[in-house]
Amino acid sequence: MSVAVRKERIPGFILHTYGMQVVGTPGDLSQGVHSTAYLIRTDDGDWVVKISSPDSDPPDELALQCAVYDFLNDQGLHAPVVLADRYGRRVGSIEGSDGVHYPVTVMRHHRLRRLTAESIGAADLHRVAGQVGGCTP
């Protein structure tokens, strides 16, 4: 299922749901079958808006993904920082032109914030595995 949300709807959604004023037109970051992402500039900095297909990325799974990001950041590793909306939700919802409600996550945009194979060492992987698995390698 592709995402059927017009990018012209994003500024109003962000203002209403997150209380941030979007400046300019959202920029396309990536379009896929399961999600689409836009870069927005707001009165509170730059953010990535990811709109997902509810079939491939259900809200409960995205909430777990947010928890993993929090854990990685708490461990000093670089992972997305997800913004909660006005209602305290980390995964929001926007209605598409097809009437489907699509899960939305808004993440702070950091150029060097990507977790790549080159940016994490073996010691970091062992530490995360031990914390997540409750064991030590």
| Residue 137 predicted with pLDDT over 60 | no
Could you give all domains of the chain from N- to C-terminal order, each with its CATH number?
A: 7-133 (3.30.200.20)
What rounded mean pLDDT belongs to the chain? Answer: 86
The helix/strand/coil state of 131 is helix
| Residue 77 predicted with pLDDT over 90 | no
CA distance 103 to 106: 10
Largest distance between two CA atoms of the chain: 49
- Condensed to tens digits (0 to 9), the pLDDT of residues 54-68 reads 999 999 999 999 999
Question: Across the beta sheet with 101-108, what order do the strands follow?
Answer: 22-31, 35-42, 45-52, 101-108, 92-95
Can you give the pTM of this predicted structure?
0.78
Residue 3: predicted pLDDT: 84
- Condensed to tens digits (0 to 9), the pLDDT of residues 86-123 reads 999 999 999 999 999 999 999 998 765 455 666 667 77
CA distance 44 to 4: 27
- Condensed to tens digits (0 to 9), the pLDDT of residues 9-19 reads 999 999 999 99
